[in-house]
Amino acid sequence: MARPDKAAAVAELADQFRSSNAAVLTEYRGLTVAQLKTLRRSLGENAQYAVVKNTLTKIAANEAGITSLDDHFSGPTAVAFITGDPVESAKGLRDFAKENPNLIIKGGVLDGKALSADEIKKLADLESREVLLAKLAGAMKGKQTQAAQLFQALPSKFVRTAEALRVKLSEQGGAE
């Protein structure tokens, strides 16, 4: 009777691994239910935090093609499945772990690439996608302004050069 339940749980977890941009494994030993609720809220709208069984999750990850997490399935494990901006959720995990040392970030995966706990913390140090896009747009606008000034300078420089040449030729013509 437990067999179909476990198969369904594995299938659901495998689907979550496949549909997520990123997944972060954590150890939550010593956290209260209220703290876990706070953690779920701090991850943002695009992340789902689930306490999982190691064996079933390992099987599900392998079915989804993720074998790099196999070493992290020990002790009480929970997974943050991230479907949106991974930086926002990584910041939520990092900040919560600072306030609650019982939360240990084990590792994760981002777009199929394995991440260590340190790499997840570096990801959390990045600015959000929106901020990076705004900076890129500002830089591009600055480059466009520079290009416009350059293109505007070329004709005016040509006109000044032509006028200087005309004055010089008229002076030479007047001297003869």
| Strand 77-82 relative to strand 47-52, pairing | antiparallel
Distance CA 98, CA 14 (A): 30
Rounded to an integer, what is the distance from CA 145 to the centroid of its chain?
Answer: 30
Residue 51 has which token pair? 């306490």
Q: What's this model's pTM, rounded to 2 decimal places?
A: 0.66
Report yes or no: 171 and 164 within 8 Å, Cβ to Cβ: no
pLDDT in tens, 49-102: 888 888 888 888 888 888 888 788 888 888 889 888 888 888 888 888 888 888
Element (H, E) at 17: helix 2-19
